[in-house]
Amino acid sequence: MTGAPPPEWRATLGRHVGGALVRFLYAAGAHGTENVPVSGPVILAANHTGYLDGAVVFGLAPRPAHFLVLASTFELGIGPLLHLSGQIPLEQGTGDRRALASALGVLQRGGVVGIFPEGGRGRGDLEKAEKGVAWLALQGSAPVVPVACLGTRATGDLAASWPRLRSRLVVDFGEPVSVTQAHGIPGRVRLERAAEEIRAALAEHVAAASNRHRIELPTDVPPDLWD
């Protein structure tokens, strides 16, 4: 399993530019940034409802982060920007070992990896979550910071729609979760338990943040994602 991690300077540059753009275009604010450890490996695990979630969390995070982004997105017009800002292409549904190795390399050098455990845009309530975040947390010995991204899509909007300019966006960082390193059980069971532990913590944080900031999650699956 190979995959060199992108250099951190790319994420540092992208974060400064992205953060400025997000704050210029929207009434965007970050909360709970003190919950993100100031050094060492960290995973930012965020809910996913709208097209701009990645850019918003990336721009408002207190540390430069390398997000796992669908490889198909790199084929669009923003592909060069994603490469320049140090993001990691991910082939979804294939257990992309190259992408996971690249993300693990970021963690092993003490960096920050961003991931959307739901695997795609939806209601953002974390009813289901993929296991990649748990694998990275266990292999990289990294705490997982649950992140609530709110306001990027309203009920009925398309999956690819953008929020209205100057609308209120909130990124809320929760308290870190250190997954249990249980021994004496099969690796698959350990992975499943860690994945559920992270999913439950993120779901709880998203629900609490939604209530606290009075920004409701969309109640539907984006129309252009219907089967």
pLDDT in tens, 144-203: 999 999 999 999 999 889 999 999 999 999 999 998 777 778 888 999 999 999 999 999
Backbone angles phi, psi at 11, to 5 degrees: -70, -35
Query: Above 60 in pLDDT, residue 125?
Result: yes
β strands within the chain, DSSP E:
27-31, 42-46, 65-70, 88-90, 112-115, 144-150, 168-173
User: What does each C-alpha distance from 86 to 92, 93, 107, 168 come to in angstroms?
Assistant: 18, 22, 14, 27
| pLDDT interval class at 75 (50, 70, 90) | confident
User: Hey, what amino acid is at 227?
Assistant: D
How far does CA 196 lie from the centroid of its chain? 17
What integer is the mean pLDDT of 97-112?
96
Closest CA to 150 of 49, 62, 22, 19: 49
Query: Above 60 in pLDDT, residue 3?
Result: yes
The reported pLDDT for the residue numbered 180 is 73
Query: Above 90 in pLDDT, residue 38?
Result: yes
> Per mean pLDDT, which range of 64-73, 78-87, 177-186 is the poorest?
177-186
What integer is the mean pLDDT of 2-17?
93
DSSP type of residue 93: T
CA dihedral 167, 153, 106, 5 (to 10 degrees): -100
Report yes or no on whether pTM surpasses 0.85. Answer: yes
Query: Above 60 in pLDDT, residue 227?
Result: no
What integer is the mean pLDDT of 128-145?
96
